[in-house]
Structure 1
């Protein structure tokens, strides 16, 4: 862990130097005509977002005759999402996939995608992301040295824990739940009666095992791929958020490409959304069956009670004109 942090710190310190690509990519032996971009993800190698980015790499290589390539570091090899965001902003890495909840505080328009009970279903979410809402959120990254390439939807987020089934907010009282570093999620947990505990995604499994936390919230595919179900045996279908993932590229990295290559990367990235969705739908169904076979106890919830409990949170965000405009557009598609 210490060595990895030293490596990341060295990469960040080198951002202003031309030696960074060689340091980060190990590209010393490559032809000077070949450009290798780095991409990071905290998820495992067969996770749909990782596979979609790998697909982008294959398409880039094919379309450019090998001149543009993509090297994907999965499973958090280059650090946490918060570290990846900063390194992409400063050009230490090129591309990163980040959960939008971790972006809420720094990029306010992502809040509209993370608020509780804004979306009714996956088709509703996808309709919004494919239209004006998705375009506005992606454009909002440009103010802070990043460019939004695509938004990957990732199903409904639900609660899971080591203690008991959750049917209503009353069942959450006194339990400690991991949340991302997002004001929305921290307040949401408090309104539902739980105690929010901000933790990095990679620390959740051990925190569940040691009872540092009692539970967490995430989509079913991540619950399965992270093996967190081995510690937390109760899954409650609260569907409290459909907060998606965002694929980002460093503005510096994008602008270092020719205009033609920039357009190609953007087009391929947009096309990768359909690839990711197909993989997501297939793997989510498989994950659900495997969780049932592993004796994870799954239950439905009183969604009306959960909506009522978080209503004050939504009311506060309605006062923000930019968020309210996106919210109205989202609800018009319901």
Structure 2
């Protein structure tokens, strides 16, 4: 009997030791002065602007917490694609992630407003708004989804490109077959401009333009260049019809473990990293633009987007009930 009691005691003692040893992995253990290492999921490569932003955020958190928190950035999709990363952040198996706002619409109906066409009058107004109080209100709409919104990152402006003709006015879109993402809003925008929206996988776009299945597509400058779409679509219209941003998110389980002071530190670090991320994006955009110009592609600069904005009014009419309040807040 004594032998059984002793064995039970030793087993319990061993379990306590194991649990004590594991405590350093919990966010709350930073209060004891131990370094807590967190994981941040990023699906882009090391030298991509969003990864550069992630690394700046990680550096600032470590500095501002005097080394109590260290964030390891797992780039190149090591922890899964964006949808998988969001799910893992919700579960708390990943602490943080950088994802585009589009897949986050299933967790916040409001965030979809950022995909509306010609939403902001210019880039200065856009980032003043997103980095301000209204932007924070929008990030707070993730409450109740086990996600915490920390900051918006730049993903550039999407414009139309095609292999048929220069697009200087909305009328020039008439009859063109334009590839879009599988999104009702994306389809509505292209059709409001008079073109035929053709949803298809991104990997099929190059050959589809080359063979005439479609006439063109839409994306930002870096994607137009790195995908080699510029080789088969000579005309790129620079009018930035959409600029859905990236979002830096954290898990609710991590957030609940942070002290109020550390929550402020994480938020400050996220906001401060935006400038570095945007600078990296601007550099990549200029490099891509220079490369396609050197190739001889025609860039059509649109100075006045008013006719384009007027052409997509049916889109605003359709989504007014859903996004009207946020459109007013973001554009006032």
TM, length-normalised to structure 2: 0.77
**Post-superposition offset of 1:292:** 1.2
Instruction: Report the 3-state secondary structure (helix = DSSP H, G, I; strand = E; otherwise coil) of the residue aligned with 1:166.
Output: coil
In the alignment, which residue of structure 1 is the partner of 2:142? Answer: 141
Instruction: Report the 3-state secondary structure (helix = DSSP H, G, I; strand = E; otherwise coil) of the residue aligned with 1:125.
Output: helix
**Post-superposition offset of 1:225:** 4.6
Partners of 2:82 and 2:168 in 1: CA distance: 31
Partners of 1:160 and 1:134 in 2: CA distance: 30
**Post-superposition offset of 1:137:** 0.8
In the alignment, which residue of structure 2 is the partner of 1:189? Answer: 190
Measured on the aligned residues, the alpha-carbon RMSD in Å equals 2.9
> Deviation per CA, 1:55-103, whole angstroms, max 9, x where unpaired?
1112223344544222223333333322222222222322222222333
Q: Is the Cα–Cα contact under 8 Å of residues 179 and 198 in structure 2 kept in the other structure?
A: yes
Partners of 2:312 and 2:275 in 1: CA distance: 32
Residue range with higher mean Cα deviation, 284-293 or 257-266? 257-266
- Give unmatched runs, 5+ long, in structure 1: 1-17, 22-31
- Give unmatched runs, 5+ long, in structure 2: 1-18, 23-32
Q: Is the Cα–Cα contact under 8 Å of residues 43 and 74 in structure 1 kept in the other structure?
A: yes
In the alignment, which residue of structure 1 is the partner of 2:308? Answer: 306
Instruction: Report the 3-state secondary structure (helix = DSSP H, G, I; strand = E; otherwise coil) of the residue aligned with 1:242.
Output: coil
Give yes or no for the alignment of 1:207 onto 2:209.
Answer: no
Partners of 1:196 and 1:132 in 2: CA distance: 37
Q: 1:75 to 1:113 in 2, by over 3 A?
A: same
Larger Rg: 2
Residue range with higher mean Cα deviation, 271-280 or 118-127? 271-280
Partners of 1:226 and 1:58 in 2: CA distance: 31
Q: Is the Cα–Cα contact under 8 Å of residues 131 and 271 in structure 2 kept in the other structure?
A: no
In the alignment, which residue of structure 1 is the partner of 2:7? Answer: none
Q: Is the Cα–Cα contact under 8 Å of residues 41 and 98 in structure 1 kept in the other structure?
A: yes
**Post-superposition offset of 1:53:** 0.6
Q: What aligned pairs does 1:71-82 form with structure 2 within 5 A after superposition?
A: 71-82=72-83
Give yes or no for the alignment of 1:236 onto 2:237.
Answer: yes
Give yes or no for the alignment of 1:102 onto 2:103.
Answer: yes
> Deviation per CA, 1:33-67, whole angstroms, max 9, x where unpaired?
43322222333322222101111112223344544
> Deviation per CA, 1:161-194, whole angstroms, max 9, x where unpaired?
4554333445443414132x54322321232322
TM, length-normalised to structure 1: 0.77
Q: 1:328 to 1:63 in 2, by over 3 A?
A: closer
Instruction: Report the 3-state secondary structure (helix = DSSP H, G, I; strand = E; otherwise coil) of the residue aligned with 2:321.
Output: coil
**Post-superposition offset of 1:127:** 1.9
In the alignment, which residue of structure 2 is the partner of 1:93? Answer: 94
**Post-superposition offset of 1:265:** 1.6
Partners of 1:37 and 1:163 in 2: CA distance: 49
Partners of 1:161 and 1:76 in 2: CA distance: 30
Give yes or no for the alignment of 1:273 onto 2:271.
Answer: no
In the alignment, which residue of structure 2 is the partner of 1:263? Answer: 264
Partners of 1:164 and 1:104 in 2: CA distance: 34
